[in-house]
């Protein structure tokens, strides 16, 4: 099976893709394109899957990823660091450098100001989204030449509201930050609610001044054939889970025909 690359209209011709589990070499509960170094998958399979993912989006590029910690920390890169930074977003203006974000229910966000040649990639779980990872990524992009109204952002596959049940305490914590956040919750069973992470992240991007925002509306939890899901693995009592990757990169000038 070939690697499935899901692209967003908003990002135009900039090399990018949201990848799921199709097209990889992992087996068992990690079956497919598992790129999670921290999973219990075989290391050689993860390495091969990462090679395949990069080749599907930015052939010949260099891939930089993070040790993600659910923060609002952004790292600006001009090359691949020797060790993965502890952060949740990357930005760069260097051609040939691919930025990768790993997810398994959290929202991957890819961003570009094509006119400035500046790109970003962010990992937005609820903690990072509440902490301001979207706004911090936009600020880091503008610091190296982007303009907020020119930035286009795409929110890739993540857990959808129909699949994301939370309790009263969760809703109250998010609403305490801003009462308007209650609009991202729908009533569920007694004492529980359904949280719309995708819409929440989109709203934070809009508040940061992003000019164009596209939400792909793909549910990682519900679509087992295409995506890994942390919450699904927990509900099944599985000992480990796979991660998918979202990649964006600027092509080297020599590779542009």
pLDDT (0 to 100) of residue 255 = 55
Q: How far is it, in rounded angstroms, from Cα 110 to Cα 195?
A: 22
SS3 166: strand
Beta bridge partners of 185: 195
Nearest Cα residue to 63 out of 245, 254, 257: 245
Give pLDDT tens digits for 109-166: 999 999 999 999 999 999 999 999 999 999 999 999 999 999 999 999 999 999 999 9
Question: Percentage of the chain with pLDDT > 90?
Answer: 96
pLDDT (0 to 100) of residue 257 = 43
Helices of type H across 165-254: 168-177, 197-207, 230-236
pLDDT (0 to 100) of residue 237 = 97
Give pLDDT tens digits for 31-88: 999 999 999 999 999 999 999 999 999 999 999 999 999 999 999 999 999 999 999 9
Which residue has better confidence, 155 or 253? 155
Q: What is the DSSP letter of 21?
A: S
- What is the phi/psi pair of residue 5, to 5°? -115, 115
pLDDT (0 to 100) of residue 252 = 83
List the chain domain ranges. Answer: 5-160+196-248
Query: Is residue 231's pLDDT more than 60?
Result: yes
pLDDT (0 to 100) of residue 253 = 75
Q: In CATH, what is the architecture of 5-160+196-248?
A: 4-Layer Sandwich (3.60)
């Amino acid at each position: 099976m070939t690697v499935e690359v899901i692209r967003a209209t908003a990002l135009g011709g900039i090399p990018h893709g949201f990848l799921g589990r199709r097209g990889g070499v992992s087996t068992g509960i990690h079956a497919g394109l598992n790129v999670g170094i921290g999973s219990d998958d075989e290391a050689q399979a993860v390495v091969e899957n990462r090679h395949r993912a990069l080749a599907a989006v930015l052939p010949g590029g260099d891939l930089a990823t993070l040790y993600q910690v659910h923060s609002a920390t952004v790292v600006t890169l001009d090359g691949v660091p020797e060790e993965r930074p502890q952060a949740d977003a990357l930005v760069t203006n260097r051609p040939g450098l691919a930025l990768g974000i790993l997810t398994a229910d959290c929202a991957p966000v890819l961003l570009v100001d094509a006119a400035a040649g500046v790109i970003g990639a962010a990992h937005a779980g609820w903690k990072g989204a509440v902490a301001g990872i979207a706004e911090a990524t936009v600020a880091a992009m503008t610091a190296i030449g982007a303009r907020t109204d020119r930035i286009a952002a795409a929110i890739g596959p993540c857990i959808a509201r129909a699949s994301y049940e939370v309790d009263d305490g969760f809703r109250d914590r998010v609403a305490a930050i801003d009462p308007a956040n209650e609009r991202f919750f729908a009533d569920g069973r007694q004492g529980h609610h359904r949280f719309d992470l995708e819409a929440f992240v989109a709203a934070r991007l809009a508040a940061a001044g992003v000019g164009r925002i596209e939400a792909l509306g793909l549910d990682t939890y519900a679509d087992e054939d295409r995506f890994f899901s942390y919450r699904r693995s927990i509900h099944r009592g599985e000992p480990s889970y796979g991660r998918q990757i979202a990649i964006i990169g600027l092509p080297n000038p020599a590779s542009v025909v």
